[in-house]
Amino acid sequence: MQTLRLSNISTDIRRAASLLRAGEVVAIPTETVYGLAANALDEVAVAKIFAAKGRPADNPLIVHVLSPEDATPLIRPGVVDKLTALSAFIPGPLTVILPKDNKVPSIVSGGLDTIAIRIPAHSVARALLHETGIPLAAPSANRSGSPSPTCMRHVLDDMDGRIAAVLDGGECAVGVESTVLSLCGEVPELLRPGAVTLEQLREVLGEVHVAQAVLSPLREGQAVTSPGMKYKHYAPKTRVVLLRGGSEAFAAWCNTRDCMALCFAEDAQYLRVPCFCYGSSGDYDSQARLLFDGLRTLDESGFAPLIAAHAPDVIGVGLAVYNRLLRAAGFELVEL
């Protein structure tokens, strides 16, 4: 299959919409990362997403809609109020898990009786939802297990020839996937940290639990609330080690090894190995935005067989960056 590059946003939204309506898969920009979109109500179209990504069938997809009103037919009657209560973050980089309506095909939810709903803020994603008039299932547009794509080039690196088209919306502003919050239990539970932070959610909702898998590996046989937690994730081909400590200690560790560094701006003066700087140590927004580009760029460079990643603090958006790096490193963490 030839993958169309759709770079003229003013005319190509309609082209992308007609491909989606015809049951094809199109990669689309969102404010978090690029998504691999298909009609969420068309099982055959959704199956193409799983095939293109090589995604395990029990890892459910996020369904994108324009408004809580458009989410209503997809969720159990009466639960839409839970969504509107989060209006401070909607539209935006927040995914909410709610009990699902039977009309949503079970392939979308990986066989669960819940559904992940997101209302994106990105103007291109919104224009496309408006033009298609259908809910769009869209996981991140990477091959399963790889770092998520934050620009069209990343999408093509993974998906060229596997999907009908990619719609170019430039670079993603956030850079890490949406915050995933389950509202199915008594207390809201954070399943995946993102740009809508735990601190922000607690301000609005009061108590919010953090799923154990956010910061630690699953124990053998442990039940998971979010199937995506089970898989190695966000990982380049090169081995990644995560290091926590000050700039000089980080550089000293790197300089005695055959490695490349994913580093903070403050580290660069001490480093004598190839590096990709993903922001200053306190700038979690920059770290989130550049994280996956950094992992992909270092991976492609092939300069060394190891990526040493300098870990951010686990506050604000830093928690999301730390969570992705932990998984990219297969939980290999060194305290300096």
- DSSP symbol at 178: P
Residue nearest Mg ion, CB atom distance: 140
62 touches ligand AMP by CB under 6 A: yes
Beta carbons of 171 and 151 less than 8 angstroms apart: yes
Q: How many CA atoms lie within 13 A of 50 on its CB side?
A: 16
Residue with tokens 């580093």: 263
Residues within window 122-141 making contact with ligand AMP, judged by CB under 6 A = 139-140
Q: Report if residue 115 touches ligand AMP, rule: CB under 6 A.
A: yes
Which residue is it, tokens 């596997």?
162
Q: Does 144 bind Mg ion (CB under 5 A)?
A: no
Side-chain-side CA neighbours of residue 186 (13 Å): 0
Q: For residue 114, what are its two tokens?
A: 């819940």
Q: Shortest approach of Mg ion to residue 293 CB, angstroms?
A: 16
Q: Tell whether residue 140 is a contact of Mg ion (CB under 5 A).
A: yes
Based on the shown chain and the rule CB under 5 A, indicate whether residue 146 belongs to the binding site for Mg ion.
Answer: no
CB closer to ligand AMP out of 287 and 323? 323
- CB of residue 269 vs Mg ion: minimum separation in angstroms? 35
Which of 60, 169, 312, 316 touches ligand AMP (CB under 6 A)?
60
Paired tokens of 250? 């980080």
Cα–Cα dist 122/92, whole Å: 8
Interactions with ligand AMP, residue window 76-105 (CB under 6 A): 97
Nearer to ligand AMP, 168 or 177 (CB): 177
Which three-class secondary structure state does DSSP give residue 316? coil
Out of 19, 45, 116, 262, the only residue in the binding site for ligand AMP (CB under 6 A) is 116
**Total of residues contacting ligand AMP (CB under 6 A):** 20
The partner in contact with residue 39, picked from ligand AMP, Mg ion, none with C-beta cut-offs of 5 to 8 angstroms by kind, is: none
Q: Select from 114, 150, 197, 247 the one that contacts ligand AMP (CB under 6 A).
A: 114
Alpha-carbon distance 297 to 169, whole Å?
Answer: 20
Residue 106 near residue 40 (C-beta atoms within 8 A): no
Q: Using CB atoms within 10 A of its CB, is residue 217 exposed (0-12), middle (13-18) or buried (19+)?
A: middle
Instruction: Find which of Mg ion, ligand AMP, none residue 227 binds, CB within 5 to 8 Å per kind.
Output: ligand AMP
Q: Where would I find the H helices in the chain?
A: 9-21, 43-53, 68-71, 80-84, 123-132, 152-159, 198-205, 247-255, 284-301, 318-328
Q: Which of residues 176-205 bind ligand AMP (CB under 6 A)?
A: 177, 180, 191-192
Residue 82's CB is within 10 A of a number of other CB atoms, namely 18
Closest residue by beta carbon to ligand AMP = 228
Which residues, other chains included, contact 213 with Cβ-Cβ below 8 Å and sequence gap of 6+?
191, 224, 225, 226, 229
Choice from 23, 227, 245, 282 touching ligand AMP (CB under 6 A): 227
Question: Which window, 17-25, 54-62, 71-79, 292-300, contacts ligand AMP (CB under 6 A)?
Answer: 54-62
* Site membership for Mg ion, residue 178 (CB under 5 A): no
Tallying the residues shown for the chain, one arrives at 336
103 φ/ψ angles, rounded to the nearest 5 degrees: -75, -15
95 belongs to the binding site for Mg ion (CB under 5 A):
no
**Quick one: 135 or 139, whose CB is closer to Mg ion?**
139
Q: Which span (101-109, 137-145, 248-256, 288-296) binds Mg ion, by CB under 5 A?
A: 137-145
Instruction: Specify the stretch interacting with ligand AMP by CB under 6 A; choose among 16-24, 111-119, 283-291, 315-323.
Output: 111-119
Give the residues lining the site for ligand AMP (CB under 6 A): 59-62, 97, 109, 112, 114-116, 139-140, 177, 180, 191-192, 225-228
